[in-house]
Each structure stands twice: as C-alpha cells, then as structure tokens.
Structure 1
C-alpha cells in the first residue's frame, strides 16, 4: 500500500559504506582534526609522528575544551557542538569520520562529567554498529587522537602538516617544532571587513594568476572559488581577490570533501562584495587602465573612478609570425596621437617602412585599444581606417591592400612609383593622406608558399637592396607551418630566408646575380677545405662540371 506521508531519513546500511565516503589523504585528515580543535577553543595543536616497532602513528593533541559525549564522535551527522558554533559554522558532524577505516585511539576530557575518557576504534569497527568500549582516562583537558598511518601518509606528513598550518588561526607544532603561519591576506593592497569575511585585493602580473589558485580560506582550509577579477587593458595588471572566512554561516562547503563551495545566496552576495571591493581598491589607488565598460560597471555600483590614464603605446607593425610581436613600451600621449588598428602584416610591414621615412599623419602612430572607446580623451583621436598601395608599372595602374589583390597583368619586381594611401576619420570627417613608398606586397587568395608566391613591388631608383626586401618579406609573410615537411621552426625559417633572398636577387638584380648568390651560398662552407697554397677553379655549365686545382706561387719578392 502506498503511504500517505514519507519523511527523509538516513538508512542504517549507510554506515557499511562509510569508508567509501571518506577516502581521505593525510592532508584532508589533518585539516579536519585541526578544524575540530579550533572549534573546541584550542590555542595550540601539537602534532607528533611516533615510530614504533609495529607501525608509524600520527598523534594530534589540542588544548581545547574536549569532547563532552563520546557517542558524538561515532554518530555520522551528529556534531555535538554548541548552538553558537552550529549557527556560525554549520559543522556537519563528519570530522572524525575522516578517519573511517583506520585504527584510531581517542582520548578526551568531558567538561560536563569532569573526567577524561578513552575509546579504541579498530579499523573494521567503522562499518558496523558493534559497541565500542569507553574507559576512563587521566587526560586533564583537550583531546588526543592517535591513528595508525599508511605508508603513503608517512611520505607526505611533514609537507601536509606544513600546508594545513600555513593559514590556520591556531598555533601548530610538529614534533615540537613550531610551524610557519601567515596571514591569508598578507601583501594585499586593500582589505575590507564585513559580513563575517575579510576581502583582500591584490594587483598581480597576469602570468602569476590562475583560476585554479585557492582564493578562499576557511580557517586554514584553502580552496579555489570562482570570484570576480579585473584585467586592465594592455600592460595593466590583474586585480584579484582572496577571502578570509571569519564568521559567515551563509558560505558553506560541499560535503564531505569540503573542496568546493555550495552555490547559494551566500556565495552570490560574497561575489558582489568582492566586485565592489575590487573597484574600491582601484579608486583608492587613484589611476587605472580599465576598459570603458568596466568604468561604467563601477559607476553603476556607485563607485566613482577617474577615466583611464590617457596614454597609448607607440605602434609597431605586426609580424606574420605572432611570436615576434611585442609592445614597444614607449608611451605616447596628447591629442595628436593617431590610432592604428590591426592590419595584416603583409600590408603593415611595408607601410611602416614608408611611414618611418615620410609620416603623413602629423602625429605619432599608436596602437588602437578600442576597449578605451567611450573615454573622452580616446574618442577625440584621429583613426586610420584604411591602408592601400597605389602602384604604377608602365601603363598599368593598380591598388593592393589587405582586401585587394594585384591584377593578373601586374609583374613582380620593379615599379615606376608606389604610393601609400590612407583614410583617416577624425571628428566625424574623413581625410585622405598619402606618402611615397619603396616596397609593397600583394596578397593572394591562392597562396601556396609565401616566399615564392607573394606579389612583390619595389620602386625603381630607391635605395633598398634585394636582401632588405627579403628581410621585409620574412617579417610580413613568414610563419611556421605545422603541416610543413620541414622538421622544425628553425629549418622552416632558414628555408624561407634562403628562398626569399634568391627570389629578390633574381627579381631586382637579374638572373646572373641570383645564380652567383646561389652558388656562393652552396660553396661558402667548403672554403676551409682548400689549403692556403692551392687555388680551386670550378667551371659549371648546364651539362658539365670541371674542377682545376693549381698551386699558388709564393711572391718572389
């Protein structure tokens, strides 16, 4: 018959599975025992490793108020703590069960009964309901727990105790040696206290922070938690938070492992508090490089920030190989700055050469950072919208850009003139500017090998050499390819440099010069084979190779 009502309950057979609920490491066990000692009002926790003839034991002794009722330690889910402690910390009554499946001796003092007691819990007793004898013990106060350690614990116990002690609010010794303890919020640039927490704000380098780093401290138990953080634009650092839980019952850990937080209203409120603390820390510093959206977010939270510092970094043309790209570190400021957005390296590299020689923009070029769009100082700057090269080859006139390919009648090599054209937008108007250029490259939708297939144009009469153009092409077009048959980055780069150099010499200096360079490259490494008193003459034709070795006569004078 289906019952009219049911109620939640824990089935008695759950106790038979308890060792599978608490398969803890030495660190987990030490943390649980430390928390019990702290809740008991301990001022010192003494950890001792005891080596006996039969085994190695871990003993944890505290000077707290002891355990009043021995039954509470073997009753899963019954904490035995006072009402105040239960309200403040929501203890789960699972601490001693972290020892499930282990041979344990517990000695403690019962204040209500004014006497000490002792219980020996054999390893097999955890999975049964068999009675456990309680005997009197002369312990005058506190609690002592001794557990037989498996070999895995012995290997790590020193580091585990050190880690569990580091941010624990009670003094700890290991084999009578005081353990190092640090404030969880040490080195914070800003600390806020409220709602039972301490929120510390840190300004760290981007590569010194990971979302998996612990950032919540529950009285010495540190765990990662998804908290807000802020990343300033370009070289600005990352602002992160750490939270020290003092008395915040709304923030709870997932049981029994206690290695992640419960997603509830308490953690949602904490995240909002962290978000506000981050912006208040930045406001206290007085300057920042936050994006405009973040500035608006702070304003909406009631936190007034100044605009981001009004500077940008000088523009450097990007290379096709992104590992070569960098920010100059050279700051520019003022209303004459001109924003340069990201253009393809194939256009940006020759454009930079032209701009360096004949800057037509009237102000310094800076890297566009559109995260700043919305700030008054940024929105008033001129901005380059388009870059293109106009090329004249005899009767042919054409344009190349990052979206326009050269026409089929264009010939690689010399051009009569090359002009860099740019469109600027400023104060709602568009302005066209231009300057002479020495080199231009053309893109192709059918690139096979950039060293050989990139369209190359060089202004006749300029002072650029074939090898200068080859170097520029490498910056504009070379990028290592995982699908290449070359065995490494260096091999691919060397092949590109060789092929680009030979091609540029052939295009700009002629076939004979390219052949000479090719032969010199092939033979240059063999000059050491020739003795000082010999000369080697090599004659090569399409069908024959002859070598003549002759002595070098000493100067008779």
Structure 2
C-alpha cells in the first residue's frame, strides 16, 4: 500500500472571472452593499444623486463622509476584508460587497486614510473579472471621504432603490438633496426584548406587512428567515421580527449574504422566541392554544391554565364550499354537545334542518381536534348520525347516511337516529324532520333521493333553498357556463322537482311554462295588452301583439 499524500484546498485561477454571478448587478444589490461598506467604515452620512460627469457621462454619484481607504487593492481583492476586528467578528464581513458593481464602469475618488491626499481609481466592467487592469492615480487634494461614480444604464431610476436600501440603515442617507425617510424596523411591535445582541419584536398579527425578505434587519439589509409563529384557535396569533444590533453568533450565507446560516444559535433563538410567545399568552390570561402547544409551553417552563372552554357553533357545510360560513365562537359549558361526524353537506344540512325545525335546547358545536387532550374537551358529549328512518303506512326503512332509497310515495314520518356519547355512556336520540336527502355528497339532483313527509308544511321555495345548500356545487369547466347560469339551471330543475313532489306533475309543468314566459317573454307586452300563446300540432300561434299606435302629428 502506498504512503498517503496530503494537499490543501485552493481557489482556481479562473474563479475571479465568475464574480459577476455573485450578485444580480441591480441597484437594489448595489446600494445595499455600498451603504453597508460606508457604515462599516465609520461614515455617518451618505448622499446619492445623478450627475453628468465630464468624461463618464450620466452617473450615480455616491458620497460618504467616512475616513477613506488605506489600500485601494482591498476593494478589488475577492474575499478580503479590511474592517476593524470588532466589525469583522460581529458582522462576518466577507470582502465581496464591492463586487456588486461587477459589469459596470466605476470611478472611485477616495481620501488616503489619515492624509489630505486621495486616490482616483478607474475600473471597466471587465476589470472585476480580472480581464482588464484597474488604474489608480493621484486624486484631487483635500478630498474628504469616498466618492463612487457608477455608470447608469438606460431607463434606470436610482431613487426607489436608494430609498429602499436606506429605510432601516442606522445612518442618514440624502437622496437628491432630501434626507431619506427612516424608521425603526420594530416600530409596530407589540413587545420588544433585547437578547444576545438582537432586538426581538413580537407582533399580534401579520397585518404589519411582512414581506418574505423582511423578517430580519441586519444593519439595514432585510433578510428572509424561518422564524416561529404561534397560532391559537380563537385568540391572537403571534409573529416575530428581528433587528440585529450587535450579534456575532448570527451568521449570513456567503457570498450574497441574503440568508441566515442554520446553526445551534438559530435553534436557541427560535426556542427563545417561542418562550416569549408563551410568556405573553400567560400574561394575557385566557387562551385557545392547541393541546400540543400547551404541553410545549410546559416543557419550556411556562405553566398555563387549560384553554378556555370555547367552540364554534355548528353550522352545516354547503355543497359549494365557498358558501359555507363559520359559526360564532361561544363560551360553552360541560352540558353542551359536539357534532362529531365525518358527514358532508347532505348529512349536515339534514341534521341542521331537523334541529332548527324542532327548536331543541341542545346546543351543538363544531369539533376542534386540536383541543384533544384537555380534560374539559375530552369529557364533552359527542353527537353522531347513525341512520335515517323512513316510516310509511305499512313499512319502515332504515337507511345509512350516504345511501340511497327509492321512494314511491311520501312517507308519514322521517327521523334521524343519532348517538349521544361521552367517555362513560352512550344513548340514542331521535330527531323528527319534514324532509331528508339520501345519497352521496358531490352528486346532483338526479343521483340522490328526496323524501318529504305527507304532513310537511314546507313550500317549494323552502325545499329549493335546502336542495341548493346540500347539492349545488358549480363546475369550473369553461364549457359549463358561468356561476350564475349554473345556479339558475340548478334552481329551475330543483323547483320543478319540488313542485312535483309537494303538488302534482301538472303543477310542475305549468310552473315550468310560466317561468319561461315570465323570464323571457313577459317584458314584451304593454300594460294594456293581453297576449295569447297557443301551442299545438307542430306550431305556435301568438295573438294580442297589436302594433303600438303611432302618435298623430300636428
């Protein structure tokens, strides 16, 4: 076996030629990086404007009042950072920000650090990739700070990008002679805590305008990060934002520095944010955390009371789910009941009508599986639908939810057989009702069976509304017609069916003809006209449509 060899990692000779891909070369990137460079150098003010420079033409002129440069080569040495040790350790500056200018012609006039002299540095677009040399000559005397002249592209507007980069920068930026508006990154926070060099802001909701890139403010640059949030069933939801002030442990992914490095510190940070959420919830009093979050709070050392006894009132779902509304949130008691079933719109509409028709005292609520584990929730009584019972003159039929039953005549009675049960007991509960739908969800009128008792006082309009809630689900097929058209077609068919059931087939036919005339033809008549339409023997005769008399001329 040969002796092992060793070697060191290195950077390929042509790596510098790829620097144009480190950044997008947009003004957003350029201002973000150059503002950061000026701040790190100790500048307290930056100005940005557009000027016509004698030998460069239209340029963006960026001036800062920092101390200038010690060595111009530091700007063009990929990966080299010339910042003071404390800046380097706290911000992990990578020495790549100036390469955001790659692809543009640039001139820098920089004070020689600690002197009254200056450098004038010229770089062509190809200079950043090492293809064209950078020239450095003596600049004007008594030049303070650093001036960067950047060739502008056609139709390029620098003002929005400069204002965006200046929003959360901790130093003043003057744009076209006007000081850019700045604000505290956590200005709208409900609660702020300093933690390991980071200001943590807690928000009650996401309405503060969170953008994907604006979760963390890193000295003026906004970043996206995966931070915890904490939602409750009926109470406020909590979110977090971070304003980094002096934290050496929070690192950015190089070279673009637009993402957070995932490390143990970030795990600790996320746990601390969650701890703050639970502390605020404890101070607020009542809560509606899931049982899992309740247990996590306990694991973090926050002892909370159980979630408040609150649930939503049961409201039946619609076949058209966009029309389903949520019930009101109510405080409940141990005597209240949960609707605990996987039934869809048909079962829920059947049950809701039966409950409303009988005006039963039992208050029914929607289940909340996230509360499973709380003692009060586990002890509540559950209601489930077992079967439907159809009672006629001689026969009684029992039908499971979702199954069909062909009806030859209207029954004497209809019942919904329910089961009421909790952890310790179970009992049957019977609800009488005027009508029922038998069949599977997501099917139309032709695929279900409908029963209405002989004694029902329901009108056809009542039944049509009920059928629409339980069965109408519009198609999004382009050839199916608009929502309004589909709804009208369904209601017309349901109306014919309801009249046929509640009255006679003749009444249904007369109503269908009347509906067409009323909708399509009635508007043609004048108030003093009586129009007669005769249909038969393959022809239609219309009489009474006399021409309107012409007004006499003077």
Mark yes or no: TM-score above 0.5. Answer: yes
Could you list the per-position Cα deviations for residues 11-31 of structure 1 after superposition, in whole angstroms to 9, with x for gaps in the alignment?
A: 332223322333420010000
Could you list the per-position Cα deviations for residues 4-54 of structure 1 after superposition, in whole angstroms to 9, with x for gaps in the alignment?
A: 321122233222332233342001000001111111122211112214576
Give distance in 1, aligned partners of 2:175 and 2:409.
Answer: 78
Give distance in 1, aligned partners of 2:390 and 2:299.
Answer: 52
Partner of 1:508: 502
Pick closer, same or farther for the CA change 1:265–1:211 going to 2, 3 Å.
Answer: farther
Give distance in 1, aligned partners of 2:180 and 2:3.
Answer: 59
1:11 maps onto 2:5 in alignment:
no
Native 8 Å contact 2:121 2:136 kept in 1:
yes
Give distance in 1, aligned partners of 2:466 and 2:531.
Answer: 36
Pick closer, same or farther for the CA change 1:548–1:270 going to 2, 3 Å.
Answer: same
Greater mean deviation of Cα atoms: 505-514 or 140-149: 140-149
**1:309, CA displacement in angstroms?**
2.4
Partner SS for 1:424: strand
Give distance in 2, aligned partners of 1:532 and 1:359.
Answer: 47
Greater mean deviation of Cα atoms: 181-190 or 321-330: 321-330
Partner of 1:555: none
Give distance in 2, aligned partners of 1:251 and 1:479.
Answer: 52
Give distance in 2, aligned partners of 1:200 and 1:413.
Answer: 68
Give distance in 2, aligned partners of 1:484 and 1:66.
Answer: 66
Partner of 2:164: 163
Partner of 2:147: 144
User: Pairwise mapping of residues 62-77 of structure 1 onto structure 2 (< 5 A)?
Assistant: 62-77=64-79
Native 8 Å contact 1:399 1:406 kept in 2:
no
Give distance in 1, aligned partners of 2:526 and 2:136.
Answer: 98
Partner of 1:554: none
**1:364, CA displacement in angstroms?**
1.5
1:130 maps onto 2:162 in alignment:
no
Native 8 Å contact 2:119 2:136 kept in 1:
no
Partner of 1:434: 430
Cα RMSD for the two superposed structures: 2.6
Give distance in 1, aligned partners of 2:185 and 2:470.
Answer: 49
Task: Report the TM-score when normalising by structure 2.
Answer: 0.90
Partner SS for 1:535: coil
Partner of 1:257: 256
Could you list the per-position Cα deviations for residues 150-193 of structure 1 after superposition, in whole angstroms to 9, with x for gaps in the alignment?
A: 125x22x1111111111111111101201111111111112221
Pick closer, same or farther for the CA change 1:498–1:309 going to 2, 3 Å.
Answer: same
Native 8 Å contact 2:338 2:365 kept in 1:
yes
Could you list the per-position Cα deviations for residues 69-93 of structure 1 after superposition, in whole angstroms to 9, with x for gaps in the alignment?
A: 2221111111111121111111111
Could you list the per-position Cα deviations for residues 470-510 of structure 1 after superposition, in whole angstroms to 9, with x for gaps in the alignment?
A: 21011011111234842222211111111011011112211
Partner SS for 1:187: coil
User: Pairwise mapping of residues 196-215 of structure 1 onto structure 2 (< 5 A)?
Assistant: 196-204=197-205, 212-215=212-215
Partner of 1:93: 95
Greater mean deviation of Cα atoms: 28-37 or 186-195: 186-195
Give distance in 1, aligned partners of 2:213 and 2:311.
Answer: 32
**1:136, CA displacement in angstroms?**
4.4
Native 8 Å contact 2:165 2:220 kept in 1:
yes
Partner of 2:57: 55
Partner SS for 1:414: coil
1:274 maps onto 2:277 in alignment:
no
Partner SS for 1:150: coil
Give distance in 2, aligned partners of 1:139 and 1:429.
Answer: 93
Pick closer, same or farther for the CA change 1:229–1:133 going to 2, 3 Å.
Answer: same
Equivalent position to 1:419, from 415, 421, 436: 415
Aligned residues, how many?
Answer: 541
Partner of 1:406: 404
**1:127, CA displacement in angstroms?**
2.6
Give distance in 1, aligned partners of 2:3 and 2:110.
Answer: 47
Give distance in 1, aligned partners of 2:445 and 2:17.
Answer: 72
Pick closer, same or farther for the CA change 1:406–1:87 going to 2, 3 Å.
Answer: same
Partner SS for 2:9: coil
1:303 maps onto 2:305 in alignment:
no
Equivalent position to 2:81, from 74, 79, 82: 79
Partner SS for 2:87: helix
Give distance in 2, aligned partners of 1:5 and 1:208.
Answer: 55
Give distance in 2, aligned partners of 1:262 and 1:44.
Answer: 30
User: Pairwise mapping of residues 407-486 of structure 1 onto structure 2 (< 5 A)?
Assistant: 407=405, 410-411=406-407, 414-444=410-440, 450-483=444-477, 485-486=479-480
Native 8 Å contact 1:107 1:139 kept in 2:
no
Could you list the per-position Cα deviations for residues 352-407 of structure 1 after superposition, in whole angstroms to 9, with x for gaps in the alignment?
A: 111112244x431122112112223322321113353211133332233434x134
Give distance in 2, aligned partners of 1:325 and 1:208.
Answer: 29
User: Pairwise mapping of residues 155-554 of structure 1 onto structure 2 (< 5 A)?
Assistant: 155=157, 157-204=158-205, 212-233=212-233, 235-341=234-340, 343-360=343-360, 362-403=361-402, 405-407=403-405, 410-411=406-407, 414-444=410-440, 450-483=444-477, 485-524=479-518, 525-541=520-536, 545-549=540-544
Could you list the per-position Cα deviations for residues 233-260 of structure 1 after superposition, in whole angstroms to 9, with x for gaps in the alignment?
A: 2x54432111111222222222222222
**1:455, CA displacement in angstroms?**
0.7
Equivalent position to 2:106, from 104, 107, 118: 104
Greater mean deviation of Cα atoms: 242-251 or 80-89: 242-251
Give distance in 1, aligned partners of 2:10 and 2:381.
Answer: 71
Native 8 Å contact 1:101 1:123 kept in 2:
yes
**1:231, CA displacement in angstroms?**
2.0
Could you list the per-position Cα deviations for residues 302-325 of structure 1 after superposition, in whole angstroms to 9, with x for gaps in the alignment?
A: 122232222222211111111011
Partner of 2:551: none
Partner SS for 1:64: coil
Native 8 Å contact 1:414 1:458 kept in 2:
yes
Give distance in 2, aligned partners of 1:396 and 1:68.
Answer: 102
